[in-house]
Structure 1
Amino acid sequence: MTTSVESPAVQPVRETFPSLNPANGAEIARYPVDGEPEVADAVARARKGAEWWAALTAGERKRRLGAWAATITRDRRALCELVHEENGKPRDDAFLEVLLALEQLTWAASHAGRVLRRRRVAGSLAMMNQAATVEYHPLGVVGVIGPWNYPVFTPMGSIAYALAAGNAVVFKPSEFTTASGVFLADSFARANPDADTGVFQVVTGFGATGAALCSARVDKVAFTGSSATGRKVMAACAQNLTPVLMECGGKDALIVAEGADVKAAADGALWGALANAGQTCVGIERVYVVKGLEDAFIDAIREGAAELKTGADAEDRVYGPMTMPGQIDVVRRHIEDAIAKGATAVVGGVDSVKPPFIDPVVLVDAPEDSAAVCEETFGPTITVRTVADADEAVRLANATEYGLSASVYAGSARRGAEIARRLRTGMASVNAVIAFAGVPGLPFGGVGESGFGRTHGEDGLKEFARAQSVTRKRFSAPLDPTTFRRSPATMKVLDRYVTLRFGRK
C-alpha cells in the first residue's frame, strides 16, 4: 500500500511594477501590485490599529506625530532624493516640499486637541434647562489616494490631519511616486516602534488598487487627482455611502490690476506657471493684465523666461521633466490648438516639447474657447490676455468650471484683497502666488470641478472627525411641551413667547 504526500500549496507569484526616474527611465525600485485581498487585509489591520490609536489621548498622539516629524527631519535628505528621482523636480524644490509637509504635520499634531475637544454650546431661551456640548470623534479608518506631482506635501495634508484626529490611515500613493509614499509609512513605523502596525499603512499598485480601497468600506476617502478620476472615485465610494474629500484640478488665474508691480507680477507668474514643470494643481495657467500694463508685463515675462535653465542639457535646470508621460501629449495639443486659433507664442512654441522635457511656453491672446484656456494643461505653459479693467479680469477668471485658487497683483494690498474676494475660488494670494499653501492654519480646497472638502487648518481636522452633539437636562422646566401631559396653558405661554421673541421688527 502506498501513501501519497500532499505537496505544500504553491503561493502565486505577486505581480510587481517599477518606480521609474522620468528623466532617464532608470528603475528606482519595484513594488507589489496589491489587489482586493491585500487591500482588504490592510483595512482589517487598520480597524485594529484605529482602536489602539483612538484610545490614546490627544497629547499622546501629538507626541508620537512629533517623533515622526523628527524622524522625517533626520532622514530628509534621503526623502528629498527619492522625490527628486521619482518626480523629477530639482532637489531644492523637493526640500521645499518636505518642509511644507513638516509644517502641516506639526500644525495638525499641535492643534488637534484644542480643535476637536468637547466644548459647551450656548442654548436658547426655549431650551434653557438643557446644557449643550459638541465634540469630535475619529471616523475610524481613512483611505488616502495621493498624487504624483507633490507626493509628500499633498497627501500629508490628509494623512497628518486624519492621524491627528485619531484615525488609522491606509495610503495608496501614485504608481509614479510609490517610493516616496512607502518612505512615509516606514518613517512613521521607525518613529513609533511600539505602535500598532495598522495605524498607518501603504498599499501599492495602479488604479485598480485605488478602486479596491474605495470599495473596502473605509470610513472616508481623501482623493487628490484629476476631476475625471475623482468622479470614478466618488462612484465607487457611493456604493457603500463612503464619504469623500475631493481635491481635483484647477485652471488658476493671475490678475495684474491697476498700479501693480509688473516685474513682481511677471516673476510670480513664471514661478506659479513653471515650478515643478507646471505640474501643480494651484499653478498659474492664465494671466489677465489690465490695459496699459500688457507691454511691460510681456517684456518682463520674456526677460525672466530667457534667464531660466531648462531641458535635458541643463544640469542645474529650474524644473525637471514631465513626470507622467501621457501629459506631454496634452501639453502639445493645447499649444497647437491655441496657435491654430490665433494665439501668438512670445516664448517657445510647439518645438518646446522635447520629451520628457518641455521648455517654457507663453501664449498671448489665446481665445477663451481654446484648450489652453479652458482645460487644465498641467505643464510649463501660460496664457496672457489684455483686459479693459479689473472687472473684466474677474469675469474671465471666473468663467471656468474650476475654482481652486488665484492670485492678484495690485497697487495696494487692500485693492488686491477686494478683487480676490470676488473670485470664485477656494483660495487666493495677493501680491504673491500660492502663498496660502504655506500657511498651515488656512483651509485648502476648491469649488466646482476643483472638488470639495478641505485639508489643512481647523477645517482639515474636522474633515476627519464626526461631530457629536449632546444635551443634558439640568432641571425640570416649569413648562414642558414635549410630553403628552402638557396643558393648554403651556401652549398659550409658548405662543406668547413666539410673538415677543420673533414677532418684533
Structure 2
Amino acid sequence: MPTETAKPPTETDAVPVAIAAARAAAGWWAGLGWDGRRRALLAWKRTLAGRVEELAGQIRAETGKPHGDAVLEVMLAVEHLDWAARHARGVLRRRRVPAGLLAANQAASVGYEPLGVIGVIGPWNYPVYTPLGSISYALAAGNAVVFKPSEHTPGVGRWLAERWAEAVPGPAVFQAVTGDGETGAALCRAGVDKLAFTGSTATGRTVMAACAVTLTPVVIEAGGKDALIVAADADLDAAARAAAFGGFGNAGQTCAGVERVYVERSVYEPFLDRLAELARATRPGEEPDARYGRMTTPAQTAVVAAHIEDALARGGRAVVGGPAAVRPPFVDPVVLAEVPEDSLAVTAETFGPTVVVNPVRDLDEAVERANASRYGLAASVFTGSRRTAADLAARLRAGAVSVNAVLGFAAAPALPFGGVGDSGFGRVHGADGLREFSRPKSVTRQRFAAPIDLLRLDRRPAALARATRLFRLRHARG
C-alpha cells in the first residue's frame, strides 16, 4: 500500500499553536499586575519610538505611502500605546460605587478583569496605527494578543511581534500569525475571548458569522463614507485644505477620511475653486516625499474607476480629474461635483483619492444628506460659530466629529473611536477602549445587618409593610 505523505503545515496551522501559547502566557501577563505591565508596555514603546525610521520603511515598502506619512502613522500609534500603558490602572482598577437605598448596608465596588486572549485582524491601509488601537489597549487591560495582519502587510505584523519579543522577553504575550482570509477565519474559529476586526463591512459580516459559532464577542471597525459640512461663515481656505488632506491623503485609503462634502450654496463655487486648485497641484508618486503614494491593491483601483464612471454617467461633472486620473498603480486627485445622491460615489465606500462636492440650500439639508448614509464612522464641520458647530456635531450620526479640522480625534488618545450602522460597533482608544477588552466584575460586602431584612424566606409581613411605606415615600411622590 502507498505510504501517506504528511500534509505540510500551512499558515492556518499556526493559529491554534499561537492560541495555545497565548493561553499559557495570559496568566503570567495578568499576574504582572498594573505596574509590571506598564513597565513592559513602555519598554516596547521605547523600542518602537527608537526604531521609527526602520518601521516606517517597512510600512512604506508594503503600502507605498510616502515616508513622512509612515513616520506620522508610527508617531500616532506610539502616543496611543503610551496612553494605554499609563492609564490602564486608573480606568480599570476596582473602585467603590454607591449601593443605593435598598442596599445601604452593602459596600459595592466594581473592577475590570482581563478577558484572556484577544484576536486582532488588522487592515493594510494603516498597518500600525489601526491594529495598535486594539493591541495596545488589550495588552494594557491584561490580555494576551494574537495578531493577524493583512496579507498585504505581513512584514509590518512580524516586525511588531519581533520587537515585542526583544523588549519583553518571556511567555508569548503578543504574537503575529500571517496569511490570507483563511488565517483570519481560523482565528475567528479558534475560540479567542474577543476578536477585534478592521476592514470592509462585507468582511466584517463574515467575521461576525464565524465568531457567532463560538459566541465570541467582536469589535468591528468597518467602512466609512464620511462627510464634511462647510457653512457659509466658514474659513474656506482652511476647509478646502482639510477636504484635500482628508480626501487625497494616503491615496484616499482612510476609512475616516473625507469622501463627501456638502457646502452651503452661497459659498459653493468659491469653495469648489479652492479645492480644485489644491487638487490640480497634487500628484502621487513613488518618491519618499510625494504627496501620496500608489493604491495599495489593484482591486481598489478598479473600485475607484467604477465610482468615477458611475458618477459621470448619472450627470455629475468632473471638476478635476475623471476616468483618465486612474493610471494604475496610481490615481490622481479627482473632484466630482453635483453628483446625484444615489450614485456609487455618494452611497458606497470609494476608498480612493476622490471627493464629491455637492451644494445644499442650508445646514439642515447638509445634516440630512450626511446622515442619509448607511455608514457612520466620522464627520467634519467647518463654521465660524461655536454654537453652530456644537449643534451640527450633536445632530450628525457618526462616532466622532471634528470641528474646523479633519481627523482631529485620531491624535487624542483619551477619545474613543468607532462607528455606527455599517461602520461597525464597539470602541477602541481611551477609557472605553480599555474597558472594551475587559470584563466588569461587581462585588458587594455586607457591612452590617439590614434594618429591614427582605432577603430571607421567612420575611416578616411587618418588615415588608415598612419597606413598602418607605418605597412610596421615595418614588410615588412628585
User: Normalising TM by the smaller chain, what interval?
Assistant: over 0.9
Structure 2 residue 274 is the aligned partner of structure 1 residue 300:
yes
Which residue is 2:433 aligned to? Answer: 460
Q: Distance in 1 between matches of 2:48 and 2:70?
A: 13
TM-score by length of 1: 0.93
Which residue is 1:34 aligned to? Answer: 11
Which residue is 2:363 aligned to? Answer: 390
Which residue is 1:115 aligned to? Answer: 91
Structure 1 stretches of 5 or more lacking a match?
Answer: 1-6, 15-32
Given that 2:67 and 2:289 are in contact with CA atoms closer than 8 Å, whether structure 1 keeps it comes out as: no
Q: Distance in 1 between matches of 2:161 and 2:299?
A: 28
Which residue is 2:197 aligned to? Answer: 223
Which secondary structure state, in structure 1, belongs to the residue aligned with residue 358 of structure 2? strand
Which secondary structure state, in structure 2, belongs to the residue aligned with residue 466 of structure 1? strand
Given that 1:171 and 1:200 are in contact with CA atoms closer than 8 Å, whether structure 2 keeps it comes out as: yes
Which residue is 2:165 aligned to? Answer: 189
Structure 2 residue 19 is the aligned partner of structure 1 residue 43:
yes
Displacement, 1:498? Answer: 1.4
Which residue is 1:201 aligned to? Answer: 175
Structure 2 residue 467 is the aligned partner of structure 1 residue 490:
no
Q: What are the residue-to-residue correspondences of 1:251-270 with 2, within 5 Å?
A: 251-270=225-244
Given that 2:139 and 2:145 are in contact with CA atoms closer than 8 Å, whether structure 1 keeps it comes out as: yes
Amino acid at match of 2:193: D
Which secondary structure state, in structure 1, belongs to the residue aligned with residue 262 of structure 2? strand
- Return the match for 1:350 from 323, 332, 346: 323
Given that 2:416 and 2:429 are in contact with CA atoms closer than 8 Å, whether structure 1 keeps it comes out as: yes
Structure 2 residue 128 is the aligned partner of structure 1 residue 155:
no
Structure 2 residue 32 is the aligned partner of structure 1 residue 56:
yes
Q: Deviations over 1:101-157 (max 9, x none)?
A: 000000000000110000001111111111100000000000000000000000000
Which residue is 1:367 aligned to? Answer: 340
Displacement, 1:377? Answer: 0.3
Given that 2:337 and 2:358 are in contact with CA atoms closer than 8 Å, whether structure 1 keeps it comes out as: yes
Which secondary structure state, in structure 2, belongs to the residue aligned with residue 289 of structure 1? strand
Which secondary structure state, in structure 1, belongs to the residue aligned with residue 156 of structure 2? helix
Q: Deviations over 1:72-97 (max 9, x none)?
A: 11111110001011011100000000
Given that 2:280 and 2:333 are in contact with CA atoms closer than 8 Å, whether structure 1 keeps it comes out as: no
Q: Deviations over 1:355-399 (max 9, x none)?
A: 010000000011000000000000000000000010000000000
Structure 2 stretches of 5 or more lacking a match?
Answer: none
Which secondary structure state, in structure 2, belongs to the residue aligned with residue 504 of structure 1? coil
Q: Deviations over 1:449-498 (max 9, x none)?
A: 00000000000000000000011111111311111111110110111011
Given that 2:67 and 2:288 are in contact with CA atoms closer than 8 Å, whether structure 1 keeps it comes out as: no
Displacement, 1:160? Answer: 0.4
Amino acid at match of 2:85: A
Structure 2 residue 146 is the aligned partner of structure 1 residue 170:
yes
Which residue is 1:3 aligned to? Answer: none
Q: Distance in 2 between matches of 1:125 and 1:316?
A: 64
Which secondary structure state, in structure 2, belongs to the residue aligned with residue 109 of structure 1? helix
Q: Deviations over 1:284-313 (max 9, x none)?
A: 00000001101110110111112213246x
Given that 1:311 and 1:358 are in contact with CA atoms closer than 8 Å, whether structure 2 keeps it comes out as: no
Structure 2 residue 295 is the aligned partner of structure 1 residue 322:
yes
Q: Deviations over 1:241-263 (max 9, x none)?
A: 00000000000000001200011
- Return the match for 2:311 from 324, 338, 357: 338
Amino acid at match of 2:280: A
Which residue is 1:105 aligned to? Answer: 81
Given that 1:50 and 1:140 are in contact with CA atoms closer than 8 Å, whether structure 2 keeps it comes out as: yes
Amino acid at match of 1:331: V
Amino acid at match of 2:458: R
Structure 2 residue 122 is the aligned partner of structure 1 residue 146:
yes
Given that 2:84 and 2:136 are in contact with CA atoms closer than 8 Å, whether structure 1 keeps it comes out as: yes
TM-score by length of 2: 0.98
Which residue is 1:86 aligned to? Answer: 62
Q: What are the residue-to-residue correspondences of 1:399-414 with 2, within 5 Å?
A: 399-414=372-387
Given that 1:250 and 1:403 are in contact with CA atoms closer than 8 Å, whether structure 2 keeps it comes out as: yes
Given that 2:55 and 2:156 are in contact with CA atoms closer than 8 Å, whether structure 1 keeps it comes out as: yes
Which secondary structure state, in structure 2, belongs to the residue aligned with residue 40 of structure 1? helix
Structure 2 residue 261 is the aligned partner of structure 1 residue 284:
no
Given that 1:54 and 1:166 are in contact with CA atoms closer than 8 Å, whether structure 2 keeps it comes out as: yes
Given that 2:285 and 2:291 are in contact with CA atoms closer than 8 Å, whether structure 1 keeps it comes out as: no
Structure 2 residue 416 is the aligned partner of structure 1 residue 443:
yes
Structure 2 residue 50 is the aligned partner of structure 1 residue 77:
no
**Percentage of identical aligned residues:** 57
Given that 1:413 and 1:431 are in contact with CA atoms closer than 8 Å, whether structure 2 keeps it comes out as: no
Which residue is 1:429 aligned to? Answer: 402
Q: Which runs of 4+ in 1 moved over 3 A?
A: 9-14
Amino acid at match of 1:139: L
Amino acid at match of 2:355: I
Q: Distance in 1 between matches of 2:205 and 2:469?
A: 52
Q: Tell me how large the CA RMSD over aligned residues is.
A: 1.3
Given that 1:282 and 1:404 are in contact with CA atoms closer than 8 Å, whether structure 2 keeps it comes out as: yes
Aligned length: 476
Given that 1:311 and 1:359 are in contact with CA atoms closer than 8 Å, whether structure 2 keeps it comes out as: no
Q: Deviations over 1:216-244 (max 9, x none)?
A: 01000000000000000000000010000
Amino acid at match of 1:461: L
Q: Distance in 1 between matches of 2:65 and 2:419?
A: 25
Structure 2 residue 44 is the aligned partner of structure 1 residue 68:
yes
Q: Distance in 2 between matches of 1:305 and 1:386?
A: 19
Which residue is 1:27 aligned to? Answer: none
Q: Distance in 1 between matches of 2:193 and 2:336?
A: 45
Which secondary structure state, in structure 2, belongs to the residue aligned with residue 104 of structure 1? helix
Which secondary structure state, in structure 1, belongs to the residue aligned with residue 467 of structure 2? helix
